[in-house]
Structure 1
């Protein structure tokens, strides 16, 4: 009989352990119900995060030295520390079809979403580890604050604690996404950043491609040697080539001329010349570009006097800083504003230019970029890029502009679909945000480019073949892919709003789709 009892005790121990733990949690729930009037959603989710972490099966086995858990679109995200970096856990990576090479760097700050009535001093009192707070985005119903931590090493505990507050709608670490190795001396989760405002993030030390937010190699064309005008002889030569089968290989110059003619033919087919004649109110249309900089000394862009210019990297109101770099941004700006003696001119050269130089993926700075576009009353926000992982705060900012921008008519936030030939999964990148206008590219024959990202979030297809535009180092170069498409769509949208300024965002999107469908390429499917 004693043996039988011992056997039953052995079998019951695991059950008793977990049942006892359950009772403890239930007791905690009762305690919080008495003191706080019930659980907040943040506390429940934080509690679930604790239990998920305890399973120990989220981080890559044998590599992780710590975890940070938070919510993104209501789902639990686990960041696993591996040396100096963090990366998404196996489950979190799979949930967004993430890139295996994607790494995260954390700052000394957290991002907190509160109600619209909260002040910086109110936010600083939400947790003992919070220092100074800075507003980075303000919406009709909410605000986002970037808050310095007194002790950055306590970021996991701080996030858990803030999640239990009913006043906190969302809390996340401030994240930089990188696909390459971190240079030495860049802060990675401990130690102090520079105290001087504008120097808090040493983003210049992050080594990446020409366009940090996204830089598909297919868009980074070498400079093409093309004259600045097309003569009658050139036009005749082009016509001869177009009507000759089996012609020899073309020179760069001839290819460039062919591309120019194809682009102009596309613009003509969708009615851009008529829109330009009608769009006499372009001066009243405000276009913000968030990109890597703009060479406003270029002969095609020197006529521009920016309506507003801000450098997110140095956090300064400096036209000189905005003009730094800008390989990608200069090309995008040329397609919209280019005004020089060349065969291909900008679509909306008289529209107001809001220049926002932003070369990285810090969540807080991306939020600030959209906030500045909002404060500048942008009618259109051009984003010829995507980051590698969509943070909910960024989606919140995009949604706010598309709902309440343009005095409630909705600002057009135009995103390139991307050039990775991948399906755009929900809540994966900025091009997955339903309220944005997301554009894919077609070639000169009306066929979708094989490199297009695709999915239900893509609203329309427009020209994305080789387009000649301004180069950051002077002269002219080329841009293609969905970055070119987003720039063209931005220019066409500006022309539409110039002639019909009362259109809602839904009506503008429909007008763009109608124009896009007018193009009938030779081999259009």
Structure 2
């Protein structure tokens, strides 16, 4: 069986931009106005990923965290710091949530939030251990104050879920809201992130600056929301500088997680179900009038609808909106990204360098039970 762990690739080094210069997707989302209402203060977002390197722009925004990386068999005494990052993926996702834009890095969507780094073996030769590490990370995050858990990584159907599924359920029982990237596999919809199919997990797709689904975004019935996944500063493969690269569904998931942090910052008494519900209700729905589609879900996250326009009804605190979806609101067109009509995603361009499965581990796993995609919700 082939097991793939998804992560990020690199691009060209970009010169440093002015710290005050916001990228177009944040300007369209009217973030300077939103930040006057809420900036994520008081909310902890766990980033379960490849670690977080201490770089400019993240000072004072990253908590001590933990590493669950398994040491190699020949060096069982080795310990890994959560503040190291071989691939730069976790650092990039953290900056997309809380970065201040220093030295050409990203401006985070929720700069007042705190990130709890949980390091796994993603991006290393020990990636076959990520399943168990991820499960430990979910429990650790839930036990250490994370209200939002960001999974800008995933596993393909067929990965043993006997540890991951109970850990997801445990984190949810502690009140955490979990976002998982759908994946960057374009037309290979059978390679969607299996974690996104778990009940209550928010599966996130990627849209461009105009709200159109990006060609590589994975899609299917487990897509719940979407966010910008275009070009942003991403750590280069040697993790020594920022590169301009499509962020894909990894970036989109970080932005969705940050949007939840903004809403929770303004409404700290809401439950995870209520935060999820208002994000669904206020998302930029498909332009053809559909409530949702498999490419963008209920639409692109628009925290300004909740925080500036006071839209959305939090509803029942104990009812999962994905089990009984609330009707999505479709306001008049605005400057925020909206969703395109459903269409089959085009194949990625030749030479397109953003590839999610950059690491493939081949393991011999005998599955006594057939692992299938779990039905997350009932649809009428």
Cα contact 2:154–2:193 (8 A) shared by 1? no
- TM-superposed deviation, 1:368: 1.2
- Secondary structure, aligned partner of 1:290: strand
Q: 1:293 pairs with 43, 47, 51, which one?
A: 51
Question: C-alpha separation between the residues in 2 aligned to 1:380 and 1:440?
Answer: 18
Tell me how far apart the structure 2 counterparts of residues 496 and 301 of structure 1 sit (CA, whole Å). 21
Cα separation, partners in 2 of 1:317 and 1:370, compared to 1, 3 Å: farther
Secondary structure class of the residue paired with 1:392: coil
Say whether the 8 Å CA contact 2:58–2:98 is kept in structure 1: yes
Partner SS for 1:516: coil
Q: Which has the higher helix share?
A: 1
1:503-522 residue pairs with structure 2 within 5 A? 503-517=270-284, 520-521=336-337
Larger RCO: 1 or 2 (CA < 8 Å, sep 6+): 2
Give the whole-Å Cα distance in 1 for the aligned partners of 2:177 and 2:338.
Answer: 31
Let me know the Cα RMSD of the aligned residues.
Answer: 3.1
Change (3 A) 1:469 1:316: farther
The counterpart of 1:364, out of the listed 132, 137, 146, is 132
Structure 1: gaps spanning 5 or more residues: 1-86, 88-101, 103-176, 180-212, 232-256
How far residue 274 of structure 1 moved from its aligned partner, in angstroms, is 3.4
Compute the TM-score of the two structures, normalised by the length of structure 2: 0.64
* Paired residues of 2:66 and 2:82 also in contact (CA < 8 A): no
Instruction: Report if aligned partners of 1:311, 1:317 keep a CA contact under 8 Å in 2.
Output: no
SS at match of 2:243: strand
Per the TM alignment, residue 341 of structure 1 is displaced from its structure 2 partner at its CA by 3.9
Q: 2:9 aligns with which of 220, 223, 226?
A: 220
Secondary structure of 2:254's aligned partner: helix
Q: Does the 8 A contact of 1:398 with 1:435 survive in 2?
A: no
Q: How many residues align?
A: 277
Classify 1:226/1:284 alpha carbon distance in 2 versus 1 (closer, same or farther; 3 Å). Answer: same
Whether 1:463 aligns to 2:228 is yes
Shift of 1:473: 2.9
Give the alignment of 1:307-456 within 5 angstroms.
307-314=64-71, 320=81, 322-341=83-102, 344-359=106-121, 360-362=127-129, 363-388=131-156, 389-390=158-159, 391-402=161-172, 404-405=173-174, 410-422=175-187, 429-456=194-221
| 2:184 partner SS | coil
Does 2:73 match 1:306? no
Rounded to whole Å, the distance in 1 between the matches of 2:83 and 2:103 is 25
Give, in whole Å, the separation in 1 of the partners of 2:186 and 2:192: 17
1:266 and 2:28 equivalent? yes
Distance 2:99 2:177 in 1: 21
1:422/1:509 Cα in 2 relative to 1: closer, same or farther (>3 Å)?
farther
Say if 1:434 and 1:341 are closer, same or farther in 2 by CA, change over 3 A: same
Q: How far is 1:307 from its partner?
A: 4.7
Give the number of the structure whose residues are more often strand, by fraction.
1
Q: 1:422 to 1:431 in 2, by over 3 A?
A: farther
Q: What is the TM-score when the length of structure 1 is the normalising length?
A: 0.48
Which of structures 1 and 2 has the bigger CA Rg? 1
